């Protein structure tokens, strides 16, 4: 294993050399990756860019088990060459990209290309790609952590397979914001998107906000196909606010062998124009110990609902358990259509909106009618008595009123695996002065 250092300001491709130690390599830096390093570096090597500098070139890796990072003070920036589709491309197994700012690219800033299995992208800011920010394309066992993805005109993050299922995707402790707002392309792009061909994915402790006028914060979808392109996984302790939609689970066709089955647990979604949690087509969603609320945003749709379920294709199933749904000034707390969606509802706290609970998007239901219609058990319609940090008062009717699956957190004596209703793990602000990030 060798170390290769690159200093775009003071390095020299003529005199730079690789070394057995990082300290030695820092004393003999190259000026560029493309000319100085790429012709000779090998699998297992580490390539370091000097912190505080900008490399206006493309990093296209084709070696396994390589690491790309920064050295010295601060992060280096990889800015692309203005002509190539990406700024950083991981074409290899076991590649690590860390401690870098990545921007530019004529289509996307950073991409894990076909077969980039067991790769890790961490401690990076990925921003202002010409279209998308971070793409995981037909690659398994990819880990993304402590990454900020923002100001990309289309998708912030997008992961898809192609004709077969990929597995092992983990995304944690990351933020996706201000994506999908291009003036030159349609603005229905999402902050975070997992599509065809991903099973067993885990998304946890992430945030998505201010993404696209028609985009979704966290979106999980499969499109039409002949089978083998599923979208199955779990989302935990994530927070979406401000935008068109919060969490979405969808599929475009019933009757094919694809499966879209996403569990969303201990998550919070606030103040979206269309709805905070939603399903479309044959998307199957399990909503456990979540919170839906927040002040009504400007431009809210007349048929908006905190939780909006299935509207186009017969065959979807949804479970809502131990979840607080506060309509506040939204038209509906829940909008559902039993023609398309099989709904299991129990031990929730549902505070109806100005138009009650919607059935078929046209018929209003009272809470009692909803309970009868879906055979709900254990749900209540009382004020959950949350404070401005999202914690329940000691007299909240949601405490010890839930059912399995049990909530994982308690505001008073954590960890406490009590059977509470709602997601009380984070400090959120449900008032008009919602906290910023």
CA distance 284 to 249: 7
In sign, the C-alpha dihedral spanning 310, 300, 293, 370 is negative
Q: Is the pLDDT of residue 192 over 50?
A: yes
Q: Is residue 142 part of a domain?
A: no
Take residue 406 and report the two structure tokens written for it: 């049990």
Please indicate, yes or no, if residue 194 is contained in any of the structural domains: yes
Sort 432 into a burial class: Cβ within 10 Å, 0-12 / 13-18 / 19+: exposed
Q: What percent of the chain has pLDDT over 90?
A: 42
* Same-domain pairing of 121 and 197: no
Query: Is 390's pLDDT higher than 90?
Result: no
Q: What is the pLDDT of residues 304-313, one digit of tens each?
A: 888 888 765 5
From 368, 399, 425, the end of a domain falls on: 368
Domain-embedded: residue 437: no
- Minimum mean pLDDT range among 67-76, 104-113, 351-360, 421-430: 421-430
pLDDT tens digits along 270-300:
888 888 998 876 678 899 989 998 777 777 7
Q: Within this chain, do residues 87 and 212 fall inside the same structural domain, yes or no?
A: no
91-95, 334-338, 347-351, 377-381: least confident range: 334-338
Q: Which helix (H) or strand (E) holds 243?
A: strand 239-251
* Residues of the domain holding 172: 153-368
Quick check: 260 pLDDT over 90? Answer: no
Q: Is the dihedral of CA 362, 368, 374, 380 positive or negative?
A: positive
Pairing outcome for strands 198-204 and 3-6: unpaired
pLDDT at 149 exceeding the cut of 90: yes
Confidence of residue 208 (pLDDT cuts 50, 70, 90): very high
Residue 79, token pair as written in the block? 């800015």
Cα→Cα distances 396→392, 409, 434, Å: 6, 15, 21
Query: Does the pLDDT of residue 77 top 50, yes or no?
Result: yes
The pLDDT value given to residue 226 = 44
Residue 384 lies in a domain: no
Q: Distance from CA of residue 369 to its chain's centroid?
A: 35
Average pLDDT over residues 397-406: 79
Question: Do 280 and 160 belong to one domain?
Answer: yes
pLDDT of residue 215 exceeding 90: no
In a domain, 125, yes or no: yes
Shared domain check, 339 and 197? yes
Dihedral, 113, 116, 117, 123 alpha carbons, nearest 10: -90
CA–CA gap between residue 76 and residue 99 (Å, rounded): 8
Q: Is the pLDDT of residue 54 over 80?
A: yes
Q: Structural domain tally of the chain? A: 2
> Confidence class of residue 263 from pLDDT cuts 50, 70 and 90?
very high
Q: Based on the domain organization, do 122 and 201 belong to the same domain?
A: no
Residue 66 included in any domain = yes
183 domain-assigned? yes
CATH code for position 325: 2.160.20
Same domain, 107 and 168: no
Q: Is the pLDDT of residue 163 over 80?
A: no
Q: Pick the closest to residue 231 from 203, 209, 207 (CA basis).
A: 203
Burial tier of 378 (Cβ tally within 10 Å: 0-12, 13-18, 19+): middle
Let me know the angle formed at the C-alpha of 211 by 88 and 241, rounded to the nearest 5 degrees.
125
Q: Are strands 175-177 and 166-167 parallel, antiparallel or unpaired?
A: unpaired
Measure Cα distances from 196 to 157, 232, 252, 259 in Å: 14, 10, 11, 10
With CA atoms as reference, report the closest residue to 235 among 270, 205, 208. 205
Residues 73, 162, single domain; the answer is no
Task: Tell whether the torsion through CA atoms of 238, 243, 248 and 251 is positive or negative.
Answer: negative
Taking phi over 0 as left and psi of -120 to 50 as alpha, with beta for the rest, 434 belongs to beta
Model pLDDT, residue 284: 83
What is the predicted pLDDT for the residue at 256? 46
Per-residue pLDDT, averaged over 214-229, amounts to: 66
Q: What pLDDT sits at residue 402?
A: 87
**250, 115: one domain:** no
Which has more confidence, 339 or 102?
102
Residue 155, CA atoms < 13 Å, CB-side half-sphere: 18
Q: Which of 65-79, 146-160, 330-344 has the lowest mean pLDDT?
A: 330-344
8 Å CB contact between 236 and 202? yes
Q: What is the pTM of this model?
A: 0.91
Q: What integer is the mean pLDDT of 159-170? A: 80
**Spatial distance between the Cα atoms of 52 and 100, rounded to a whole number of angstroms:** 10
Question: In whole angstroms, how far apart are CA 258 and each of 26, 230, 231, 252?
Answer: 51, 5, 8, 10
Nearest one of 167, 257, 238, 353 to 248, comparing CA atoms: 238
Is residue 253 very low, low, confident or very high in pLDDT (cuts 50, 70, 90)? Answer: low
| Residue 32 CB coordination number (10 Å) | 18
What pLDDT score was predicted for residue 281? 66
The answer on 159 and 124 residing in a single domain is no
The predicted pLDDT at position 30 comes to 97
Strand partners of residue 335: 308, 358
Is the pLDDT score of 108 beyond 80?
no
What's the start-to-end Cα distance of the chain, in Å? 41
Closest CA to 90 of 69, 108, 71, 117: 117
Strand partners, 103: 127
Nearest to 25 by CA among 47, 46, 5: 5
Mean per-residue pLDDT for 218-236? 72
Phi first, then psi, for residue 128 (nearest 5°) are: 55, 45
Sign of the CA dihedral with 142 first, then 195, 320, and 210 last: positive
Q: Parallel, antiparallel, or unpaired: how do β-strands 207-209 and 239-251 relate?
A: parallel
């Amino acid at each position: 294993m060798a170390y290769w250092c690159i200093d775009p300001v003071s390095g020299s491709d003529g005199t730079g050399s690789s070394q057995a130690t990082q300290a030695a390599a820092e004393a003999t830096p190259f000026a560029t990756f493309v000319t100085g390093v790429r012709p000779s570096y090998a699998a297992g090597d580490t390539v370091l860019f000097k912190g505080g500098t900008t490399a206006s070139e493309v990093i296209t890796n084709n070696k396994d088990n390589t690491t790309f990072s920064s050295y010295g003070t601060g992060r280096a920036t990889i800015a692309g060459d203005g002509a190539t589709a990406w700024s950083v491309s991981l074409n290899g197994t076991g590649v690590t990209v860390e401690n870098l700012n990545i921007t530019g690219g004529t289509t996307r800033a950073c991409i894990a290309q076909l077969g980039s299995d067991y790769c890790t992208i961490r401690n990076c800011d990925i921003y202002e790609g010409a279209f998308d920010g971070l793409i995981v394309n037909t690659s398994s066992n990819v880990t993304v952590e402590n990454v900020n993805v923002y100001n990309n005109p289309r998708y912030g993050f997008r992961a898809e397979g192609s004709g077969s299922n990929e597995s092992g995707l983990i995304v944690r402790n990351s933020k996706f914001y201000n994506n999908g707002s291009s003036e030159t392309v349609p603005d229905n792009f999402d902050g975070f998107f997992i599509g065809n061909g991903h099973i067993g994915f885990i998304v946890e402790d992430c945030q998505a906000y201010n993404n696209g006028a028609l985009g979704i914060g966290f979106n999980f979808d499969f499109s039409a196909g002949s089978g083998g392109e599923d979208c199955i996984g779990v989302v935990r302790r994530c927070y979406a606010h401000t935008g068109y939609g919060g969490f979405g689970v969808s599929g475009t066709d019933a009757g094919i062998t694809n499966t879209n089955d996403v569990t969303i647990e201990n998550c919070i979604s606030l103040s979206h124009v269309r709805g905070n949690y939603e399903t479309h087509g044959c998307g199957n969603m399990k909503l456990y110990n979540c919170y839906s609320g927040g002040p009504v945003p400007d431009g809210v749709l007349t048929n908006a609902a905190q939780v909006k379920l299935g509207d186009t294709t017969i065959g979807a199933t949804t479970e809502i358990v131990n979840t607080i749904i506060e309509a506040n000034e939204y038209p509906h707390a829940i909008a559902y259509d039993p023609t398309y969606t099989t709904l299991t509802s129990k031990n929730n706290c549902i505070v109806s909106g100005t138009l009650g609970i919607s059935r078929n998007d046209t018929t209003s239901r009272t809470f009692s009618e909803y309970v009868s219609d879906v055979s709900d058990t254990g749900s209540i319609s009382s004020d959950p008595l949350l404070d401005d940090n999202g914690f329940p008062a000691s007299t909240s009717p949601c405490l010890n009123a839930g059912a399995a699956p049990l909530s994982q957190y308690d505001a008073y004596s954590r960890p406490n695996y009590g059977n509470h209703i709602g997601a009380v793990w984070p400090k959120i602000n449900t008032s008009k002065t919602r906290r910023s990030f």
